[in-house]
Amino acid sequence: MKKLLLAFSMALLSSCAFVQKEKTIEFIQPEEHYTNAKRVYISNVSSPRYLDTDDMAYIYKHQLRYFAKHRFPCSLNCTVKNYLLEALPYLVEKPISDYELSIYIYDFEPSFKTFHSGNMILKARFYLKHKNTYKIEDFNYDKAFSVKDFSGLINQENIALQAMTKKLNNFIKYAIIIFKESKNV
């Protein structure tokens, strides 16, 4: 009888241990879209291992942590790639273009000074390859914010991504022009 009770209680305990409370998925949708005559193949979006997770990172008191109740729909790389594909419709996922884009994200997290304010940080490097020639550009976003709730924070993240998208679009356009000019020379 004792053994039976022990087994039953163990089963109850173990089932409790594996139950994890679901986090709220935060979808970030682009508000602006850009066009381009040339198609560009987006080959890779990468980031440090601690960022490439569906957990949303933040910095508080010089420590990197993850929000306990909110997460991205997929890993950060996947989320940013999907965002860019939607905002820049000329980006393609198949290598059908001579122009190949890859992005490395160094930082993408809010750095809180108080519980409701801080700085939004987004640092990335763009690489555009065309026939063994590269064009590289860095993007640094560091802007103060003050929000009332979590949706405000998501909006700030969206603003940061929107700024990056705009910069990326300009970079691609000018890089293609330079590639063409160097070809003509």
Partner 1 sequence: MIEGKPKYTLIGFFIVFGIGVLIATIYFSTSFFKDRDLNTYYVLTKYSVAGLSVGSPVKYKGVDVGKVSAIKIARDQETLEIKISVEKNLDLKKDVIASLGIAGITGLSYIDLEREKGVKAFYDKDLEAYVIPMKPSELQQISNYIPQILDSVNKLINNLNNLISSKNTKKFDTLFNNINDTIKNLNSLIVASKSSLSNTNKVLTAFNNKINELNVQDINDTVEKYNLLADKLNKETKELNTLLKSLKTNSDTLTNSVYPQINKTLEDIQKTSKEMRVLIKHIKNHPNSFFIINHQKPFPLEETK
- Residues lying near partner 1 in the complex (CB under 8 A) are found at 17-21, 49-50, 53-55, 58, 60, 65-70, 74-75, 112, 115-116, 147-150, 153
Smallest gap from Cβ 80 to partner 1, in A, equals 15
Query: Is 87 exposed, middle or buried, given 0-12, 13-18 or 19+ CB atoms closer than 10 A?
Result: buried
Identity of the residue numbered 15: S
Nearer to partner 1, 35 or 63 (CB): 63
Smallest gap from Cβ 111 to partner 1, in A, equals 12
Smallest gap from Cβ 121 to partner 1, in A, equals 16
Nearer to partner 1, 70 or 167 (CB): 70
Alpha-carbon distance of 36 to 169, in angstroms, equals 8
Smallest gap from Cβ 125 to partner 1, in A, equals 23
Contact yes or no for 158/31 (Cβ under 8 A): yes
Nearer to partner 1, 11 or 74 (CB): 74
Alpha-carbon distance of 64 to 91, in angstroms, equals 32
